[in-house]
Amino acid sequence: MNSQLKILLIKALKFIVILAILDIGLGMGVRMLFFTQHSGKFFRMNRSFTKANADIFIFGSSRSNHHYHPEILNDELNLKSYNVGAQGQQILFQTTVQKIILNRVKPKLVILDVSPEWMYKSTEANDNLSELRPFYFRYPEIIGPVLAVQSQLQKFWLNSRIYQYNSTIVHIIYYRLKPQIDVDGYVPLFYTMTPRDSRSQILDDSLKNLNGKPKSIDTIYENALTSFLQNARSRNINVVMVYSPDYSGAKAVGNPSAERINAIGRAMEIPVIDYSDDPYFRNHPEMFNDIHHLNDQGAKEFSRQITQRLKAYL
Amino acid sequence: MYFNTTQYILFLPLVVILFYLTPFRFRWLLLLAASYYFYVCWRAEFMVVIIFSTMVNYFSAILIARNKTNKRNKKIFLTIALVINLGMLIILKYLGFINDFFHEIFGIIPAPTSPLLYLIAPVGLSYFTLQSLTYVFDTYYNLREPEKHPGIFALYVAFFPLILSGPIEQSTHLLPQFRDKARAKLKSVNIEEGIKLIIWGYFLKLVVADRTSIYVDAVFGNVDRHGGITFIAALILYSFQIYSDFAGYSCIAIGSARLMGFDVLHNFNRPYFSQSISEFWTRWHISLSTWLRNYLFNPLSYYFMRKLQKERYLKIIKPELLTYAIAASITFLMCGIWHGANFTFIIWGSLHGFYLIVDRIINKKGGNRVLNIIITYILVLFAWIFFRSENVHQSLTVIKAILTHPGSLYIPFDSDVVAPVYAVLGIFILLMVEVKREFFNNSFSLSGNKNEYIRMASYGFMIFLILYLGVFDASQFMYVKF
């Protein structure tokens, strides 16, 4: 064998061993750091995967996270509820999280807080699925196929323990220094939006829509929604879809994405409760933190109102 | 395929292994096939342009060489090559801009409607055009014999590590390497050096550039909402973004070539430690500044020097200074235009030309090193305002805000709350490495340590940082669009 090739192979072998040691050693360190968090979104995700047990589970994006106050639901319905809402996450994420949770517990009711835009293709939604990476080693058969939506080659990278915890360290440090208030998953927002805030945010949204590409429906998301609903149904768990309030009344009818959500709901006989254009909340800045999120006052009011509607499905 | 995709990470080792398994006489063919495949991954139609460019320059150089003694014919063939190369660049990259310019300024041509005016410029066009022209010029100036082997010349034009964003190689430097059998032997030192450069390149791109871009894009995407302090913060981050993005790309390109034994020109040498603007241009985008110096600035200086020496008003201004001023202004105007069809680039280039002239007039030597570095950095930072802005109006809005409306520092409070922190962390690591290399080069080094295990552990730790802190969304390299 060529002497240079021999030197190279020995060097490569040494480097691979060093890399493996570093990946395993440092990987153990970052994993420990990750799973000893006591606050923040990753902590809430871990708790909902491993510990949370409730009669009502609420799934959804940040809107779900900030809109449903479990203590109010508990008091009004006399049932324990838990909020699994996660910032920036859409239906693919919800379906994955639901599968993991329902493998462990059997609630009476599952609420899916849907957004009218959820069926549109979204790179951002797919990118945000990365937040599932730290849990891949525990649920590879559930999380693996979902991460493949980002890239078929994700599996290659997920062999690295360190990569599974990519972009988590600052979050961990941030919420260790500044713990986030959370009540059974619910994260309250305390700012009260001013009419000026609302005007500028509505303008920003309109500009984004104007400059954005034409939106198209993604069948992967349609299938994910169907799967979410079927998964609960097959376990005899009631499901309700809710459009929660929006400051400017983001209507749940009239846009193709919302129409698809509603059609899937109708086909599977899933009730849909629509608060998206509810006059009680619409154009009431005192109830909102920003145009898409209720503040704590608004969330409490909405939670009181929704419990009355939910009684029919329990 | 970008360098920061998993496809490239699988493609490169495969090519390197095949390269060393292939007999030397067929290696050019393997590399050419790999380079064309790499290029076709963007758009198959682009191949037409690259093949056309290769043929034009290949035959031009042969015809120039055949007319070595016939100056007139030699000049004609050079002119034809120049017209075709630059014509291609103008048609594919600048036609829409030129049309818009004449329409808006003079109203002498109708409003642009034809999509032909806005053809998509093939990726790497600006780079492989300059690299091909280098070869034609070198043949014209008798610095080299024309390459007879069309395959090897085609490889010089399309060599995959360099085709997208350079470094723009010199024909006298790169072309002979494709024929150098001794160089092509497998050497572990080349593999290690290549891997080291590639790892550092990925760190710069994924940990520094892509992190800083989140904040910078948020600020420059909404210029009406921010104050001067936010713009200064965004500009500082942008200075690191553009440096890390391009230097990262260059390191990956140079490292990829080194894996196969090729020695490619370095493109960056810690430019933000420059003590003057003229020094900055010996450290920033070195391959482009070398090209501009050799093929534009020097001929222009020579031309104007001859013309201006006879002029009477030069009793007031020294002819050397006036020559320098004219040549520098034209060179940097062209440098700006080369970067893109936008007035912002023209202003950016002209500003650097102006800085160089002032630098020459002041001709200050010595002084406090740190102060010189800071002043040079501020001047560069100011010019980046134009480079980053979408249009001149946006640049002026930013400058106005910096001068009149400091405001408060923008900190994103949504899901990106942690992004700027990652950016600062990445910049901190980058600065530690660069300060060490610039000021304490002879001190203890991890990546350059004599102990093999320490060296390897340092590469491994760098990989750890990339995997732990990097952004893995395969975003575009900024200089690919130029």
- Express each pLDDT in B247-281 by its tens digit: 999 999 999 999 999 999 999 999 999 999 999 99
> What is the C-alpha to C-alpha distance for residues B229 and B385, in angstroms, rounded to an integer?
14
CB contact under 8 A, A4 and B186: yes
**Can you give the pLDDT at residue A211?**
62
Of all residues in chain A, the one with the smallest CA distance to B422 is A170
CB contact under 8 A, B186 and A2: yes
Beta bridge partners of A186: A183
- CA B4 to chain CA mean position, Å: 17
Enter the tokens of residue B7: 């496809």
Radius of gyration of chain A (CA): 22
**Can you give the pLDDT at residue A27?**
92
Question: Would the pTM of this model clear 0.90, i.e. be above it?
Answer: no
**Can you give the pLDDT at residue A85?**
92
What is the DSSP pairing of strand A109-113 with strand A288-290? unpaired
Average of per-residue pLDDT values in chain B: 87
Residue A88: its chain B contacts at CB < 8 A? Answer: 415
- Yes or no: say if A247 and A285 are a contact pair by the CB < 8 Å rule: yes
- pLDDT confidence bin for A5, thresholds 50/70/90: confident
DSSP label of B209: I
Q: Within 13 Å and on the Cβ side, how many CA atoms surround B416?
A: 17
- In this structure, the number of other CB atoms found within 10 A of the CB of residue A298 comes to 26
Whether B234 shows a pLDDT value over 60: the answer reads yes
For A73, A77, B66, the CA distances from A308, given in Å and listed in that order, are 10, 9, 92
Beta bridge partners of A82: A57
Enter the tokens of residue B356: 């160089």
Mutation site, B202, B472, B473, B475, interface A, largest A CB count within 10 A = B472
Residue B222: its chain A contacts at CB < 8 A? Answer: 204
**Closest approach of B27 to chain A, Cα-based (Å):** 18
- CA torsion A79-A88-A241-A64 (nearest 10°) is 30
Q: Does A24 touch chain B (CB under 8 A)?
A: no
DSSP label of A313: G
* Mean pLDDT score, A253-267: 91
Domains and CATH numbers, chain A: 38-150+180-313 (3.40.50.1110)
CB contact under 8 A, A19 and B415: no
Residue A207: its chain B contacts at CB < 8 A? Answer: none
> What is the C-alpha to C-alpha distance for residues B398 and B387, in angstroms, rounded to an integer?
12
Beta bridge partners of A297: none
Residue B188: its chain A contacts at CB < 8 A? Answer: 4, 7-8, 11
Radius of gyration of chain B (CA): 23
* Most confident stretch, B122-131, B195-204, B447-456: B195-204
Q: Kindly report the backbone phi and psi dihedral angles of residue A142, in degrees, each rounded to the nearest multiple of 5, phi listed first.
A: -90, -45
* Mean pLDDT score, A277-292: 91
**Can you give the pLDDT at residue A235?**
94
What is the DSSP pairing of strand A109-113 with strand A272-274? unpaired
Of all residues in chain B, the one with the smallest CA distance to A13 is B456
Q: What percent of chain A has pLDDT over 90?
A: 68
- pLDDT confidence bin for B116, thresholds 50/70/90: low
CB contact under 8 A, B6 and A151: yes
- Yes or no: say if B257 and B161 are a contact pair by the CB < 8 Å rule: yes
**Can you give the pLDDT at residue B306?**
85
Per-window interface: A 185-244 vs B, CB < 8 A? 204
B266 is catalytic: no
- In this structure, the number of other CB atoms found within 10 A of the CB of residue B71 comes to 9
Give the nearest partner residue to B467 out of A88, A151, A166, using CB atoms. A166
Give the nearest partner residue to A18 out of B415, B417, B457, using CB atoms. B457
Of all residues in chain A, the one with the smallest CA distance to B414 is A87
Closest CA to B259 of A282, A31, A12: A12
Per-window interface: A 161-180 vs B, CB < 8 A? 162-163, 165-167, 169-171, 174
**Can you give the pLDDT at residue B106?**
64
Whether B332 shows a pLDDT value over 70: the answer reads yes
Whether B312 shows a pLDDT value over 90: the answer reads no
> What is the C-alpha to C-alpha distance for residues B295 and B282, in angstroms, rounded to an integer?
16
Residue A4: its chain B contacts at CB < 8 A? Answer: 185-188
Mutation site, A7, A33, A41, interface B, largest B CB count within 10 A = A7
Q: Coil, strand or helix: which one is B348?
A: helix
Which residue carries 């990753």 as its tokens? A42
Whether B118 shows a pLDDT value over 60: the answer reads no
**Can you give the pLDDT at residue B336?**
93
CB contact under 8 A, A88 and B415: yes
CB contact under 8 A, A170 and B421: yes
* Mean pLDDT score, B406-430: 78
- pLDDT confidence bin for B318, thresholds 50/70/90: confident
Which residue carries 């309109």 as its tokens? A206
Residue B420: its chain A contacts at CB < 8 A? Answer: none
Whether B114 shows a pLDDT value over 70: the answer reads no
Which of A297-311, B110-124, B201-215, B366-380 has the weakest average pLDDT?
B110-124
Q: Where are the domains of chain B?
A: 6-185, 189-481
H helices present in chain A, as ranges: 3-35, 41-50, 62-67, 70-77, 91-102, 123-128, 140-147, 154-158, 161-164, 169-177, 195-211, 219-234, 256-267, 296-310
- In this structure, the number of other CB atoms found within 10 A of the CB of residue B64 comes to 24
What is the DSSP pairing of strand A81-83 with strand A288-290? unpaired
Catalytic residue among B339, B352, B393, B405: B339
Q: Does A22 touch chain B (CB under 8 A)?
A: yes
> What is the C-alpha to C-alpha distance for residues A162 and A34, in angstroms, rounded to an integer?
11
CA angle A124, A129, A134 (to 5 degrees): 145
**Closest approach of A169 to chain B, Cα-based (Å):** 8
Beta bridge partners of A293: A290
Position with higher pLDDT, B191 vs A205? B191
Whether B103 shows a pLDDT value over 70: the answer reads no
Residue A156: its chain B contacts at CB < 8 A? Answer: 6
Q: Does A160 touch chain B (CB under 8 A)?
A: yes
Residue A166: its chain B contacts at CB < 8 A? Answer: 467-470, 472
Residue A82 backbone class (left: φ over 0; alpha: ψ -120 to 50; beta: rest): beta
Q: Coil, strand or helix: which one is A272?
A: strand
Enter the tokens of residue A245: 């309030």
CB contact under 8 A, B460 and A30: no
